[in-house]
Amino acid sequence: MRLYVRETGRQFVSVANLVYLEADTNYCWLHWKTGQPVLTPRTLKYHHAKLPARWFIRLHRKCVVNRQFIDRLEYTNSGYRVHMTTGVSFPVSRRRWREVLQQMDGQQTFIN
């Protein structure tokens, strides 16, 4: 993946270190393993199309996560959630829950 960072110029970065992406209107926050988020002037849809589908899962309209950083899946009365190894958790839309389960293929802990 190519990424332009104003301070250092154009960089090649490894998507293996990308934990999750978060939409912010026509911009996208890329959250890295190092904890340093980067704001890009591209949409979430643009970035998601460039990422390897076997690694990244869309949870809802504003969030895509790297499945390598998923700690556990949870179902509560308030809905579905994905908990990341970094300590962050995200809601999963009802429409995408089955797809998330299929892509995870029973690899993570499920809490009911």
106 versus 90: which is more confidently predicted?
A: 90
CA distance 7 to 77: 45
- Condensed to tens digits (0 to 9), the pLDDT of residues 42-54 reads 999 999 998 999 9
Q: How confident is the model at residue 105, as a pLDDT?
A: 78
Q: How confident is the model at residue 97, as a pLDDT?
A: 93
Domain that holds residue 49: 2-111
CA distance 82 to 56: 13
- DSSP letters spanning 44-92: HHHHHHHS-TTTEEEEETTEEEEGGGEEEEEEETTEEEEEETTS-EEEE
How many domains, in total, are found in the chain? 1
Average of pLDDT values for 51-59?
A: 93
CATH no. for residue 75? 2.40.50.1020
Q: How confident is the model at residue 76, as a pLDDT?
A: 87
Q: How confident is the model at residue 13, as a pLDDT?
A: 73
Average of pLDDT values for 55-63?
A: 96
Residue 28 has pLDDT above 60, yes or no: yes
- Condensed to tens digits (0 to 9), the pLDDT of residues 63-86 reads 999 999 999 999 988 899 999 999
User: From the CB of residue 91, how many other CB atoms can be counted at a distance below 10 Å?
Assistant: 14
